[in-house]
Amino acid sequence: MYANRAKEIFDEEIRELEKLKNSIDDSFDEVIDALYHCQGKVVMMGIGKTGIIAHKMAASFASTGTPSIFVNAAEAVHGDLGMINANDIAILVSNSGSTNEILNIIDPLHRLGCKIVAMTGNMDSPLAKRADYALSIHVDEEACPLGVAPTTSTTATLLMGDALMVCLMEMRRFKAEDFALYHPGGALGRKLLGRVKNVMTTEVPRVQTNTIFRDIVREITDKHLGMTMVYDKKCCVGVITDGDVRRAILKYNDVQITATDIMTPSYKHIAKDALLSDALAIMDKHNITTLAVTETAETTDIIGIISIHHIIDFQS
């Protein structure tokens, strides 16, 4: 009984969110542009349940590369406006757009020289008309059967905030290693702030320059890293990956080719004491999944291999 009712509530909110999605226009681009070029911080402001959503938005922005804080609108006129300066952008969240606590801070914010973004369900409201930018979070109906408890409207506000946050992340090219720096206490942060030496394998796949193709494939297969280093006696001179093997199969008819014929002469490496976030950044930049590991950044003797799977599987 209640499971079916829950599904109906989901459907009701999804229908309203679909309508909101279809109403997004160029005003969204204007807001994104303003936020991206903001020289200060983004100040999220709200009260009551929309204030809770605004608080979450501030936390999401701050953790993904956009400096942001939350200021309760009711507290702002009692001294908390001192947290805001002319380089900031304030996002005022109010479904009705006529909440007194919100309206009371518009003029002070303008006097501070702070730009205002309105997020409101009423684009004809005083808030929308007095803001520099306005985003509609309008929904026709709340999922609440009485139509009074904020349900769909708060979901719509949260989703609009997420859309802003994700677009800004993409514009800033915010990556997992950046996220880790802001989340050192979280699981991902612990992973990426670990050291290469904590996860690397010392079982380095290796073949010689004159190793034949069949034995190259065997070494790559046996070591389960999708690659092998290539040596000229004791000196490492290149790398062969799964991709090199596949390309060799298509290019050569002679199965007696050697490592010299298919290796890549250069290879990327990292010191054992480097952060995992640094390793991931190198992999991401060069579109590779493994790195040779050296004792220090200055030495060239390979002491291990680190793969992206080592990083993913690592538990601090």
What sign results for the dihedral spanned by CA atoms 109, 39, 138, 5?
negative
> What pLDDT sits at residue 280?
86
Under DSSP, the state recorded for 258 is B
Domain ranges of the chain: 2-174, 192-313
> What pLDDT sits at residue 250?
86
Query: Mean pLDDT for each 10-residue chunk of the chain (316 residues)?
Result: 92 95 96 96 94 94 91 87 92 95 94 96 97 96 87 95 95 76 62 84 95 94 94 94 90 82 93 89 90 92 93 71
> What pLDDT sits at residue 191?
65
Under DSSP, the state recorded for 39 is S
CA distance 52 to 2: 27
Which amino acid is it at 10? F
- Residues 217, 255 contacting (CB under 8 angstroms): no
Which amino acid is it at 224? H
- Residues 64, 122 contacting (CB under 8 angstroms): no
CA distance 160 to 61: 12
Q: Which stretch of DSSP H or E encloses residue 147?
A: none
CA distance 263 to 251: 13
> What pLDDT sits at residue 253?
76
**CA nearest neighbour of 268 among 247, 290, 284:** 290
CA distance 170 to 158: 18
- Residues with Cβ within 8 Å of residue 63, at least 6 apart in sequence: 179, 182, 183
Please tell us whether the domain made up of 192-313 is placed in CATH 3.10.580.10.
yes
CA distance 68 to 88: 9
Q: What residues does 235 pair with on adjacent strands?
A: 232
Q: Is residue 210 classed exposed, middle or buried when 0-12, 13-18 and 19+ CB atoms within 10 A define those classes?
A: exposed
Beta strand ranges found along 49-114 (DSSP E): 68-72, 89-94
- Residues 67, 168 contacting (CB under 8 angstroms): no
CB burial string 285-294: b at 16+ within 10 A, e below: eeebbbbbbb
Q: Which residue has the tokens 């400096």?
A: 67
- Residues with Cβ within 8 Å of residue 183, at least 6 apart in sequence: 63, 189
Which amino acid is it at 244? D
CA distance 291 to 199: 12
Hey, is 51 helix, strand or coil?
helix
> What pLDDT sits at residue 78?
84
Under DSSP, the state recorded for 298 is S
Asked whether the whole model's pTM tops 0.85, one would answer no
CA distance 101 to 54: 15
Please tell us whether the domain made up of 2-174 is placed in CATH 3.40.50.10490.
yes
**CA nearest neighbour of 189 among 273, 282, 276, 272:** 276
CA distance 232 to 295: 20
Give the number of residues written for the chain: 316
